Amino acid sequence: MKSIVHLFNEIGMLARTPRSGFAFLGSGKQSVAEHSHRIACIGYALATLSKSPIDLSKLLLMCLLHDLPEARIGDLNYVNKRYVRADEEKVIQELASQSTIGKNIAAYLKEYNENLTMEARLAHDADQLELLLVLKELHDCGNPRAMDWFATVLNRVQTDVGLALADLISKTPSDEWWKIDK
């Protein structure tokens, strides 16, 4: 049971782990936990909209847990990854050795990283769509470079449903949601 408490505390580190790519963009701030929460919500929507049969539990767990290794290795952005090699596999092996829950988490992380199942592809799309939403928000608040990044991130979206949502994200003001009369 103590290993589970350790896991809970490790997950808590994600709230204090900043996403590092915003330094290059010049604006924006987000923790890995904030990012993962919205990814899970996006994953739920993708599963609902998908025409393929989806294991919703698997998809949501991949969305919530895909960045868990960052509690130990930090959030390495694309520039960092050109120079630094994080041993994510070692993190996953250590998680698997700590408890049954750790073994299950390791299996979700492995499936996510292999990106072979529809659930993994949707989880990856949720990850990219979350970043697209942040970039659109930053653009709408005046960062002129955000949409250049948007175009790059858009190339990583894999599924038809993800691409359809990405198109809508690009066209929808980020503050429109609360302005609509109901």
Residues of the chain with pLDDT under 70: 182
pLDDT of residue 141: 95
CB 42 within 8 A of CB 161: no
Tell me the C-alpha distance between 82 and 95, whole Å. Answer: 26
CB 38 within 8 A of CB 133: yes
pLDDT of residue 1: 85
pTM (two decimals): 0.94
- Single-letter code of the amino acid located at 77: N
pLDDT of residue 99: 82
Tell me the C-alpha distance between 44 and 68, whole Å. Answer: 19
pLDDT of residue 182: 60
- Single-letter code of the amino acid located at 154: L
Tell me the C-alpha distance between 140 and 170, whole Å. Answer: 10
SS3 172: coil
Domains, the chain, ranges and CATH? 2-175 (1.10.3210.10)
Closest CA to 11 of 41, 30, 37, 38: 37
pLDDT of residue 179: 85
pLDDT of residue 110: 97
